[in-house]
Amino acid sequence: DRIMISPGPGSPADAGISNDVIRSFAGRLPILGVCLGHQCIYEVYGGTVDRSGEIVHGKTSQMQHDGRGVFAGIEGDFAGTRYHSLVGVPSTLPDVLEVTATVSGTDMIQGVRHKQLCVHGVQFHPESIVSDHGYKIV
C-alpha cells in the first residue's frame, strides 16, 4: 500500500483532504506527491509555496536530481514536463525536507524528500508521456 497525492488546480490551501492525508499517513505509508501534491508536502512541513515567476503548461525542462529515492537508477539530467505557476520557495525549505531535484542550472525546486519518513514530492509531471523515466519515478 502507498499513497499518491495527485496534481490538481489551485494551491495547497484548496487541495481538499490532501494536507490531512499527508499529516495522518506520513510514517505509516509511503507517500508521493505530484505537482499540487508536492506543494502540499512542502507546506505541511512548514515551507511556503508562491508564484514561480513563470506559468508553464506542458513545458519540458531538464531536471537535475540527486539519484536517490524516486530518482534511484536514473543517471544524469532528464526531461520533465511542467504544468505549474507555483513552487516551493527555496529560502523556506523546511528543516525536515531536502531538495532532490531542480530545474537544471537554477534553484527552482522540482523535488523534495523527507529526511526520515518515506515522503517524496515532485513538482513536474512524471506521468506525462513527454517526461523521461516517468514510469520508473512513479
Among 35, 38, 65, 114, the one annotated catalytic: 35
Quick check: is 127 catalytic? Answer: yes
What sections of the chain are H helices per DSSP? 18-25, 36-44, 134-137
Per the listing, cell 512524471 goes with 126
Residue 102 has pLDDT above 90, yes or no: yes
Q: What is the pLDDT of residue 70?
A: 97
For 55-94, the pLDDT digits (tens) are 888 899 999 999 999 999 999 999 999 998 899 999 999 9
Residue 114 has pLDDT above 90, yes or no: yes
For 5-52, the pLDDT digits (tens) are 998 888 999 999 999 999 999 999 999 999 999 999 999 999 999 998
Q: What is the pLDDT of residue 119?
A: 98
d(CA 64, CA 101): 5
d(CA 107, CA 18): 26
Residue 111 has pLDDT above 90, yes or no: yes
Quick check: is 98 catalytic? Answer: no
Quick check: is 125 catalytic? Answer: yes
Cell numbers of 110, please?
A: 522540482
d(CA 47, CA 49): 7
Cell numbers of 99, please?
A: 531538495
Q: What is the pLDDT of residue 90?
A: 97
Q: What is the pLDDT of residue 74?
A: 97
Among 38, 84, 125, 133, the one annotated catalytic: 125
